[in-house]
Amino acid sequence: MRAARSDALVAQDGLPVDRYGPDVDYRDIVLDSVSHGFCVFDAGLTIRLSNRRMRDLFGMPESVTHVGASMYGLLKYSHEQGRLDGMSLERAWQERLALIALGKPFSRVERFDDGRIVSISYQPTTGGGWVAIHQDISAQQRLEEELRSQATIFREALENMSHALAVFDASKRLVVCNSRYLTMYGYEHGEIRPGIHLHQIFALAIERGNYTGITLDQLIAESDRNFALGSRRTSPSGSWQSRR
């Protein structure tokens, strides 16, 4: 039987042969393997280390990102590409220096003509240096914008309903309600907020005189009976709606 062929190189002692050779810098291999862009600056704000992912994200040439190049040079390149939201180079640099002087982490974003959005987080290091981590957040940003848009549409639909609506979760805490619900029962906007328990709403309703001739315990018991009879619409998750 012929032994299975292996593409791995094996020395006489049975150990794998180092494909990279003795002179390779393994730091470069590690840095180029991570999914984020990575750049290390010394206390003089010059580059001491960076990876290929950072250069690829920004399309920066080696002349801008080589060891010894300046943080100012990186910012200048972004300015030349029109990615500083119309801010002048000197103003952007002075703002950067002010943040660096605080010695605390900070972040910013750059928006590209092709629609990409890159987040850059700066972390201070011992000795006055900085580490900048670059991440493409385009997909995340688009999702957040879509969710905000959907939330706006939902709120507009909720407010334009002809009837009052309140949605509670399975533990009987308010998820959302419309203005008509508040107006119908005479509640102020600050009184009824998401998370408030139905029993608290009942207590406030009795206090306002919305229910007469009934105690809070009786009102809760009646609500529980109505819920058990299915007079309120429930969802598969256990949440339910109250409509008037």
pLDDT in tens, the chain (244 residues): 444 444 444 445 554 545 555 556 656 666 666 678 989 999 999 999 998 888 988 889 989 999 999 999 999 999 999 988 889 999 999 999 999 999 999 999 988 888 889 999 999 999 999 999 999 988 887 887 788 888 888 888 888 888 888 888 888 899 988 999 888 888 888 889 999 999 999 999 888 888 888 899 998 898 888 777 655 544 444 444 555 5
Domain 161-243: which CATH class?
alpha beta
202-233 CB burial, b ≥16 within 10 A, e <16? bebbbeeeebeeeeeeebeeebeeebeeeeee
pLDDT score for 7: 46
Helices marked H in the chain — which ranges? Answer: 26-31, 52-58, 62-65, 71-80, 89-102, 138-159, 179-185, 198-207, 216-228
The CA–CA distances, whole Å, from 244 to 132, 162, 227, 229 equal 55, 10, 15, 17
What pLDDT does 234 receive?
Answer: 44
**CA 217 and chain centroid, separation:** 43
Q: Does 161-243 match 26-140 at the fold level? A: yes
Residue 51 burial (CB count, 10 A): 21
User: Alpha-carbon distance 96 to 72, whole Å?
Assistant: 9
Tokens 């987040």 appear where? 119
Q: Residue ranges per domain, the chain?
A: 26-140, 161-243
Pair 93, 108: CB distance under 8 Å: no
> Each residue of 156-179: b (16+ CB within 10 Å) or e?
eebeeeeebbbbbeeebebeebbe
The span from the CA of 194 to the CA of 196, in Å, is 6
Q: In the prediction, which pLDDT does 45 show?
A: 97
Q: Which CATH superfamily, name and number, covers 26-140?
A: PAS domain (3.30.450.20)
